[in-house]
A and B are shown apart, each in its own frame.
Chain A
Amino acid sequence: MAATKSQGKAFTLFLTGLTVATAGIAFFTSGSGKVALVVGLIGIAASFACFLKLRPLEGRTAEGTQPAIMKLAGVALALVGWLVVLFGLHLTASVSGRMITTIVGLAITLVGVIGILPVASSKNAIWKA
């Protein structure tokens, strides 16, 4: 299945839901703002339900199923590295100390992003079969 009317309807619903929800956020202090936020979120949820319903209609893709745990580990490591950088800024006030903690955190992040995630993403790639 390629692009269809159902996809168009689901995208319209998503855009409408997002617009109403963000209007709710913009005018949250008013009563109608809160109502709009709830209605918008329901619209977004409904659009995602439609997306999920349409997904099986799509034909097989040229993509293998990749290990979710490994992908999660890659993302987690990327975030941990970033947090090391943030907390490192408060461990010391010296420029060299902060430089070291920042580089260490960045290195951890890079292990997650270019070390683990690409391996996870091509673990079961169809070109390997």
Chain B
Amino acid sequence: MRINRLSSCIYALAIVLMAGAGIVARADVAPSAPTVELKDTLAKAPTTSALAAGDPGGVLTGTINDVPVGDAKAGLTLGDVANQVGQNKIGINFTWTLICGFLVMFMQAGFALVEAGLCRVKNANHTYMMNFLVYTCGLFAYWIIGFAIQMGGAAGIGNLGGAQPLNSEHLLPLFGTDWGIFGQAGGFLAGHPYDVGVMVVFLFQMVFMDTALTIVTGACAERWKFLTFSVSSVLMGAFTYPLFANWAWGGGWLAQLGSKIGLGKGYVDFAGSGVVHSVGGLTALAVALIVGPRIGKFNRDGSANPIIGHDVSAVMIGCFILAFGWFGFNPGSTLGASGAGCLRIGSVAVNTMLAGCTGTLGALLYMWVMKGKPDASMSGNGLLAGLVAITAPSGFVNPMGAAIIGFVAGVLVCLSVAFVENKLKVDDPVGAISVHGANGLWGVLSVGLFADGKSNYGGSWNGVTGSVTGLFYGDASQLVAQLVGIATLVGFVFSFSYVLNWILDIFIGQRVSVETEVEGLDLPEMGQLGYPEFVFTAEPEYMKAAEAEAAA
């Protein structure tokens, strides 16, 4: 026993001595390998004189010389290099997100061309002006309050440096759980939100909001009073859109459905089939119901007359501009190209492309087979429908799923246009309710069906670990979360928009006078014709009769 104790003491002493020797050895150690490597690289870096000779091959530019040194006395350290790596990551993500935002901004031009092209020549200026002013009205409203409501509590966007100043979400305790209702930081971008990361978030989210607003102008074209349109757009940019966007993207209650009550990963909408397109499409339905159909659209027996747009070339060019801008919409919604699974941007872009393609095919084949002609405007709407539908699932589905989603959207838009016109008796000159409303809802639903569980953006979504997985890949609860989102869009967003615009109808009046509508809105509302040198051709007989009847 005594021998055992003695041997234990000797063993312990030996360990202590060895450890001490180790400490001494570490104190005397030469510079670590990475530090030596840094010095070597620095020594081999191109000199000023070498750079002065020019660098046609591009091999001397962008070296260790370009890494900023924190402390000149210490020279370049590993810390400096690590800081530069971090800055590069955020710089790449800022650049990516901003450029994608610029692409989305350009979609406004596409919307203007599509909507004006599908309207009559006598309303061209008015339609273009609505699409032009909606950008300004929306941006202003979003800056003063909309952004705060939407993103005021959305702190923690790692790809963009955190956006930590956006840290105030109003919570509503219900059934023993705190649910996010609206954000409170970021009004006027003043105070702490005066932050580089927050600015990038603002720009990107603003152009999305503006896309939603401009959808309404299409459905209500050719009879919407400009004053009421202006006020309605400001209110939509300030309240309607930001509220739902907060619930889905700003840390609100829909996003919390996964973390709080175990419904999949919560409501999931990658780039906004619901947040942008359904909100726009359902608001368009609400306003179109209030503003009523154009003179001559419906006959006494309820049958609908076609009112042909004036410029199919503008429509087609507009559709292509929109498809181009969609590459900012969907891939940009990763909010970065570096880190946290952002390399999915390739997959997101291909899914977007494929769904647009199959959407066009779906609509074109449907019209050709059922109606006998490959209709140009419906083919364009098919392209847009496919793009709208893939917007929510683009980050979570495989190319096969994207193609199916797009094709269904292309057929759905044709059926929906007929349903809206013939059953609901709602006049939608450009098909906005069907393209954005119906297919936005289909896009939201399709996440709950087709998400394949392969995409993992940093390990979790909406604070729930794992990848978004739909019903066809084993998670039925995700489908329930998506259905709750759809019910909220149809039940709450539509109702909110309807009541808001009903109030405006009472105070301002949504519709122009009969005289203005018959004459065309360009001169009475805007003071200038869209095409002053055009020779107007006579309208069809049924239009003349309907106009005379309305005037009487």
Q: Which A residues lie at the B interface, using CB under 8 A?
A: 1-3, 7, 10-11, 14-15, 18-19, 22-23, 25-27, 48, 51-52, 54-55, 58-63, 71, 75, 78-79, 81-83, 85-86, 89-90, 93, 95-96, 98-99, 102-103, 105-106, 109-110, 113-114, 117-118, 121-122, 125-129
**A26 touching B188 by the CB < 8 A rule?**
yes
Q: Which B residues lie at the A interface, using CB under 8 A?
A: 140-141, 144-145, 148, 175, 187-188, 190, 223, 225-227, 230-231, 234, 238, 257, 261-263, 285, 289-295, 297-300, 302, 423-426, 476-477, 479-480, 483-484, 486-488, 490-492, 494-495, 498-499, 502, 507-509, 511-517, 521, 524-527, 546, 549-550
**B227 touching A121 by the CB < 8 A rule?**
no
Contact of A55 among B290, B480, B487, B508 (CB under 8 A): B508
**B175 touching A90 by the CB < 8 A rule?**
yes
**B491 touching A109 by the CB < 8 A rule?**
yes
Contact of B514 among A62, A81, A82 (CB under 8 A): A62
Nearest-neighbor residue (CB-CB) of B294 within chain A: A62
Provide 15 A-B residue pairs closer than 8 Å at the C-beta atoms, listed in order of the A residue: A10-B227, A14-B234, A19-B144, A22-B145, A23-B188, A26-B148, A61-B513, A62-B292, A62-B517, A89-B484, A98-B480, A99-B483, A106-B491, A118-B289, A122-B293
Q: Which residues on B sit within 8 Å (CB–CB) of A128? A: 300, 302
- Given known A59-B514, A79-B495, contact A95–B231 (CB-CB < 8 A): no
Nearest-neighbor residue (CB-CB) of B503 within chain A: A48
**A78 touching B491 by the CB < 8 A rule?**
yes
Closest 9 A-B residue pairs measured CB to CB? A82-B491, A59-B513, A2-B524, A26-B187, A118-B424, A22-B145, A109-B491, A85-B487, A127-B298
Q: Which residues on B sit within 8 Å (CB–CB) of A15? A: 140, 234
Nearest-neighbor residue (CB-CB) of B290 within chain A: A121
Most chain B beta carbons < 10 A, residue from A48, A60, A62, A106: A62
Q: Which residues on A sit within 8 Å (CB–CB) of B517? A: 61-62
Known: A75-B499, A106-B491. 11 other contacts (CB 8 A): A7-B227, A14-B231, A22-B145, A23-B144, A61-B512, A61-B513, A62-B514, A93-B262, A118-B289, A122-B293, A125-B292
